[in-house]
Amino acid sequence: MRYTCHYCGNPQVSSTDRFCARCGAPQPKRAPAARFFLSILYALILYAVMFLVQNAVVTLYALILQNQLSFSAFYSSYWSVFSQYYLPVLIGADVLLLLLYFSFYTLRGKHFGQVISLSKMPIAPAAVIFAGGAAFQVIVSVTISFLSQYLPVVEEYGVESSRAFSLFGDNFLLQLFYIAVAAPILEEVVFRGLIYTRLRRAMPVPAALILSSLLFGVAHGNLVQFVYATLSGLLLGWLFEKYHSIWASVLFHMAFNGASLLLVYFPFDALLFYALLCICAAVLLFMFYFVCKKPSSGSAREEETQQERNPL
């Protein structure tokens, strides 16, 4: 089976090649074609664990709360009481999931940091990627706002989002921590650090990007978020692949989510907002230019050593 080198585009890389014959860049270890479906199943299991644990923790919290309230209080004040501790429960579920994944790989003798590519990033690209994430959120928000005037499904999404956001309570700092820190870290560890890297061993990089991004879109639970989360997943996977570091996708995701919260609390008037939109478009284009001009490969031997230390 032939693969495309994700450094130079050489389409003649075989599954057994350790280095690209054209540019000398290290190639990720590829699983035999027979393990293609096994890798997909493995990715689905990782996703299912995340889905089940998060929902189990929230359901358990709801049941405990229900048993503590009287019958009349349950119907009169349940949601207000539920929202009071909803964010801490979600944060606790995320921490529990990270501990489960960490324990699973550690017990198998793997170094979890190497499995998810937890490597350092230079300050300059980190800053550019962070700014690009915030800019992308502004563009997505404007697009959704525009489409909501013409598409009922998008308008309904806005109403449901406002209703769901009310569960987060009034603690801005707690909201910011969950939306801009806890959730992005967990999602990037699962979808880029674990699922994407596993799929990449069994198929070409573009296919792994598309499948992991589709799973990322499905995880968001509605049509509108499926569309933009899938597109975001492709961008996040591209950044992860380009820098071989999960910090690239984490920083972009943090800025993207954080900007969405800031837009809720600090809305702009129309004139200022469209000026901001132009600035954000320029920032996002600069990020693409900056990332695309990154040298294709550095020390091939050094990166190959890292690949050998990073079996899944």
| DSSP structure string for 48-105 | HHHHHHHHHHHHHHHHHHHHHS-HHHHHHHHHHHHHHTHHHHHHHHHHHHHHHHHHHH
Least confident of 83-97, 179-193, 212-226, 297-311: 297-311
pLDDT at position 305 over 80: no
pLDDT at 226 > cutoff 90: yes
Read off the pLDDT of residues 179-220 as tens digits, 9 standing for 90 and up. 999 999 999 999 999 999 888 877 888 889 999 999 999 988
The predicted structure's pLDDT at residue 215:
92
Contact, 201 vs 28, CB < 8 A? yes
| Tokens representing residue 67 in the block | 């048993």
**Identity of residue 262:** L
Report which listed range, 35-49, 71-85, 94-108, 266-280, is most confident.
94-108
What pLDDT, on a 0 to 100 scale, did the predictor assign at position 309? 43
More reliable by pLDDT, 2 or 24:
24
Q: Which long-range contacts (CB under 8 A, 24 or more apart) does 83-86 make?
A: 83/166, 83/167, 83/168, 83/169, 84/169, 85/61, 86/58, 86/61, 86/167, 86/168, 86/169
How far apart CA 9 and CA 18 sit, in angstroms, is 15
Model confidence over 109-154: pLDDT tens digits? Answer: 989 998 899 988 899 999 999 999 999 999 999 899 889 888 898 8
* pLDDT tens for each residue of 11-45: 777 767 777 787 777 766 665 555 667 777 888 88
pLDDT-derived band of residue 68, with 50, 70 and 90 as boundaries?
low
CA gap 152, 168 in Å, rounded: 25
Residue 106, helix vs strand vs coil? helix
The residues, any chain, with a CB within 8 Å of residue 77's CB and separated by 6 or more, are 69
For the full predicted model, state whether its pTM sits above 0.85.
no
With vertex at residue 282, the alpha carbon angle to CA 279 and CA 287, rounded to the nearest 5 degrees, is: 125
Q: Is the pLDDT of residue 302 over 50?
A: no
Residue 77: predicted pLDDT: 56
